[in-house]
Amino acid sequence: GAVVSQHPSWVICKSGTSVKIECRSLDFQATTMFWYRQFPKQSLMLMATSNEGSKATYEQGVEKDKFLINHASLTLSTLTVTSAHPEDSSFYICSARNELKNNEQFFGPGTRLTVL
Amino acid sequence: GDSVTQMEGPVTLSEEAFLTINCTYTATGYPSLFWYVQYPGEGLQLLLKATKADDKGSNKGFEATYRKETTSFHLEKGSVQVSDSAVYFCALTGGGSEKLVFGKGTKLTVNP
């Protein structure tokens, strides 16, 4: 198969703190991973494309200093929400592109972030 | 920019009922079209896809036909099961990009 995990599955933090979310491809290597954000009853919105060994590419309107992405290995990308505020509360989903399976994106189960 | 509009849910059906979830799109050029399914507690999974006009994607009894003239990609299944209860997302990639553009998702509940 092609399995992607995320950790943690949910997190609650205080305003002003930073939170790191991990995305791992468990049984394949991924040079490219994607980070999405989903608001209630809204579609998934692409935040950034994470490339192994290079800087992430952010979508328009996404603050790169706010949402730090690191893709240090072929199986791990991390998203750090810095100085989190209540408006950052959301569902964050990652996907990993599997080049051996026709470049299909395989999705993690998501991380629910709540900022108090 | 590109966009996807799908029918709002939730949709509640009885087992063995016919399912249609409407999806229309706006895109320049010739997008590829997808349906993803998200079962409770799991990540999105690709259900089916179509890459050119008149293509029919099918999987697990679900079907969708790429209709360029109506810019639609409606999802259908002739007889739903309780295990089909999930959230369904219509999506596209366009303009040579691999970036997925999603609809808002439709929650389906199938009762025994």
> pLDDT tens for residues B39-77?
988 889 999 999 999 999 999 999 999 999 999 999 999
Question: What is the residue-averaged pLDDT of chain B?
Answer: 94
List all residues 6 or more positions away from A89 whose beta carbon is below 8 Å from its beta carbon.
A113, A114, A115
- pLDDT surpassing 90 at residue A36: yes
> What average pLDDT does this structure show over A59-80?
94
Strand blocks (E) in A1-116: 4-7, 10-13, 19-25, 32-38, 44-51, 57-58, 67-73, 76-81, 90-98, 104-107, 111-115
pLDDT value of residue A43: 84
Pick from B43, B89, B98: which is nearest to A108 by CB?
A: B43
Torsion angle of alpha carbons B81, A1, A91, B36, nearest 10°?
Answer: -50
User: According to the model, what pLDDT value does residue B103 have?
Assistant: 94
Please check whether residue B39 touches A, CB under 8 A: no
Q: Which of residues 50-79 of B touch A (CB under 8 A)?
A: none
What percentage of residues in chain A have a pLDDT greater than 90? 83
Query: What tokens appear for B44 in the block?
Result: 């999105």
3-state SS track over B49-95: EECCCCCEEEECCEEEECECCCCECCEEECCCCHHHCEEEEEEEECC
pLDDT of residue B41: 82
Task: Give the model's confidence band at B95: pLDDT under 50 very low, under 70 low, under 90 confident, else very high.
Answer: confident
% of chain A residues with pLDDT over 70: 99
| Out of B41, B46, B104, closest to residue A42 by CB | B104
Q: With an 8 Å Cβ cutoff, are B44 and A93 in contact?
A: yes
Q: Is the pLDDT of residue A111 over 90?
A: yes
Banded model confidence at residue A64, pLDDT cuts 50, 70, 90? very high
Q: How far does the CA of residue A68 sit from the closest CA of chain B (Å)? A: 20
Measured CA to CA in angstroms, residue A91 lies from A30, A44, B27, B36 at distances of: 22, 9, 26, 17
Q: Region A47-54: what's the mean pLDDT?
A: 91
The reply to whether residue B104 touches residue A43, judged by beta carbons under 8 angstroms, is yes
Q: Are strands B11-14 and B32-38 parallel, antiparallel or unpaired?
A: unpaired
Mean residue pLDDT across chain A? 93
Q: Which residue has the higher pLDDT, B3 or B29?
A: B3
Q: What is the pLDDT of residue B8?
A: 86
* Percentage of residues of chain B with pLDDT beyond 70: 100
Q: What is the mean pLDDT of residues A40-65?
A: 91
Question: What's residue A107's pLDDT?
Answer: 93
Q: Note whether B104 contacts A110, CB cutoff 8 Å.
A: no
Are B89 and A93 in contact (CB < 8 Å)? no
Quote the CA–CA distance of A101 and A78 in Å, as a whole number: 23
